[in-house]
């Protein structure tokens, strides 16, 4: 009998870990590794938000708060939903947790019974399936094919629904593909969901503000009002406000679900750090002028890297609507042999040989449930991205 609980046996060790560990080892040896694996903006948290946290500390905001988050923050979240998403929620329908991840964890644990099915469109953010499994659920994958812009079709959703289905996870714009659903696409999925009253929806909108070419992220709860009562809308400050380390995420929806999530939080983290909540109020109630400049930089990088990758023999890359990831296909490299003599049979082989021979770290598609692809984060300097593109091109040219 080991010390580790049986429930962990269903959780897969992170497929990204091998690459990260190897990249770290290479860096420690003094090798100039370009890391394109991270999922956080390379911009600082805006100053007015940092100042708000400092002011909160100076005012002594260092004690416990209520579990769901201070009322002023939950009101600011309701105002945000009304203003930006056309969604009406009351503060008791809102919970604030330790990042989007903390909120999602509470949500799965609060609602998933053993054997409940959770439909996860692939390619997916790595945490959804494992959170579902930890809660005793069964992830059911539906592939959003590259030719469909990595988005799932209503027919495929319909086919995946069973009497055991509890949740559909919608993540738009998506990590890892950057793909985002239009209003019409969400409405088409909604038509299926209207017919299946047992299915609830988690709408993870954490990348909503990181979009390009005039795209506006629609919220499924607003586009399909018939199912609004069955949608839990999840968001957070990490990505739009460059606040990954602050751990402020939130969710809104059915009051019984929110209460159940708060019950779990009351027995785990209790609440989000008090002065981070105060800073969160300022983040949500202040102008977001910094965003346009940052998105313009992201867009220039996206366009540069996509065109560089598409010029490489063996790689093909779709232009995503949002987030700061690309999900290039390496089908054209499969079956070739790397300079080391290793035959590239999978995206994992591609990624590890690229790291070994050219010191560029990206994440293999297998980690996100769709191969043969890799995920590249362009939330890093343009200079590093240009260098990485040179190296990827050299690597692909070296394959025989």
Residues 149-188 that bind ligand PLP (CB under 6 A): 171, 175
What's the distance, CA 32 to chain centroid?
28
Contacts (Cβ under 8 Å, ≥6 apart) of 296: none
121 contributes a contact to ligand PLP by CB under 6 A:
no
Contacts (Cβ under 8 Å, ≥6 apart) of 145: none
- Report the residue number, 374 or 395, with the smaller CB distance to ligand PLP: 374
The residue count for binding ligand PLP (CB under 6 A) is 13
204 contributes a contact to ligand PLP by CB under 6 A:
yes
Q: Do 271 and 69 contact (CB within 8 A), yes or no?
A: yes
- Report the residue number, 220 or 315, with the smaller CB distance to ligand PLP: 220
CB 124 → ligand PLP: shortest distance, Å?
8
Nearest to 259 by CA among 375, 251, 82: 251
Q: Do 137 and 130 contact (CB within 8 A), yes or no?
A: no
Nearest to 246 by CA among 98, 115, 70: 98
Residue tagged 């007015």 (tokens)? 48
CB 160 → ligand PLP: shortest distance, Å?
20
Nearest to 320 by CA among 258, 377, 364, 397: 377
206 contributes a contact to ligand PLP by CB under 6 A:
yes
Nearest to ligand PLP by Cβ — which residue? Answer: 99
Rg (CA), the chain: 21
Q: Which stretch binds ligand PLP (CB under 6 A): 2-10, 95-103, 155-163, 364-372?
A: 95-103
- Report the residue number, 170 or 344, with the smaller CB distance to ligand PLP: 170
DSSP 102-156: HHHHHHHHHHPPTT-EEEEEES--THHHHHHHHTT-EEEEEE--GGGTT---HHH
Cis peptide before 232 (omega within 30 of 0): no
Contacts (Cβ under 8 Å, ≥6 apart) of 31: 359
Residue from 101, 151, 294, 375 in contact with ligand PLP (CB under 6 A): 101
203 contributes a contact to ligand PLP by CB under 6 A:
no
CB 395 → ligand PLP: shortest distance, Å?
27
CB 354 → ligand PLP: shortest distance, Å?
22
CB 323 → ligand PLP: shortest distance, Å?
8
Q: Do 315 and 396 contact (CB within 8 A), yes or no?
A: yes
CB 238 → ligand PLP: shortest distance, Å?
4
Residue tagged 């319909």 (tokens)? 158
- Report the residue number, 203 or 371, with the smaller CB distance to ligand PLP: 203
Residues 212-251 that bind ligand PLP (CB under 6 A): 236, 238, 244, 249
- Report the residue number, 101 or 209, with the smaller CB distance to ligand PLP: 101
CB 158 → ligand PLP: shortest distance, Å?
24
CB 105 → ligand PLP: shortest distance, Å?
9
- Report the residue number, 171 or 278, with the smaller CB distance to ligand PLP: 171
Residues 48-87 that bind ligand PLP (CB under 6 A): none
320 contributes a contact to ligand PLP by CB under 6 A:
no
Secondary structure (3-state) at 241? coil
Residues in touch with ligand PLP (CB under 6 A): 39, 99-101, 125, 171, 175, 204, 206, 236, 238, 244, 249
């Amino acid at each position: 009998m080991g010390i580790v609980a049986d429930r962990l046996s269903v959780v897969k060790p992170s497929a990204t870990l091998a690459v990260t560990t190897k990249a770290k080892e290479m860096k420690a040896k003094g090798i100039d590794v370009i890391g394109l694996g991270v999922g956080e903006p390379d911009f600082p948290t805006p100053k007015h938000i940092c100042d708000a946290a400092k002011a909160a500390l100076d005012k002594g905001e260092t004690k416990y708060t209520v579990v769901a988050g201070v009322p002023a923050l939950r009101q600011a979240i309701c105002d945000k939903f009304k203003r930006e998403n056309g969604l009406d929620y009351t503060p008791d329908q809102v919970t604030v947790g330790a990042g989007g991840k903390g909120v999602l964890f509470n949500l799965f644990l609060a609602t998933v019974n053993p054997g409940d099915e959770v439909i996860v469109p692939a390619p997916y953010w790595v945490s959804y399936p494992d959170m579902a499994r930890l809660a005793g659920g069964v992830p059911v994958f539906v592939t959003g094919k590259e030719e469909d812009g990595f988005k799932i079709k209503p027919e495929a959703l319909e086919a995946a629904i069973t009497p055991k289905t509890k949740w559909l996870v919608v993540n738009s714009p998506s990590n890892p593909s950057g793909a985002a659903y239009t209003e019409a696409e969400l409405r088409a999925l909604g038509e299926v969901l209207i017919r299946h009253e047992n299915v609830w929806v988690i709408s993870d909108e954490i990348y909503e503000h990181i979009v390009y070419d005039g795209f506006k992220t629609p919220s499924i709860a607003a586009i399909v009002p018939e199912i609004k009562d069955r949608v839990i809308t999840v968001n957070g400050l990490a990505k739009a406000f460059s606040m990954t380390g602050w751990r402020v995420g939130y969710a809104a929806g059915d009051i019984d679900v929110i209460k159940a999530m708060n019950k779990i939080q009351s027995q785990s983290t209790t609440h989000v750090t008090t002065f981070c909540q105060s800073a969160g109020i300022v983040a949500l109630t202040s102008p977001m002028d910094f965003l346009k400049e940052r998105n313009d930089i992201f867009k220039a990088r996206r366009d540069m890297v996509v065109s560089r990758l598409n010029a490489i023999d063996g790689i093909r890359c779709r232009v995503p609507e949002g987030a700061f990831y690309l999900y290039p296909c390496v089908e054209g490299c499969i079956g070739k042999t790397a300079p080391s003599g290793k035959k590239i049979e999978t995206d994992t082989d591609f990624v590890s040989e690229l790291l070994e021979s050219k010191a560029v770290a990206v994440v293999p598609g297998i980690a996100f449930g769709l191969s043969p692809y890799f995920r590249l984060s362009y939330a890093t300097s343009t200079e590093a991205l240009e260098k990485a593109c040179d190296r990827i091109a050299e690597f692909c040219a070296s394959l025989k």
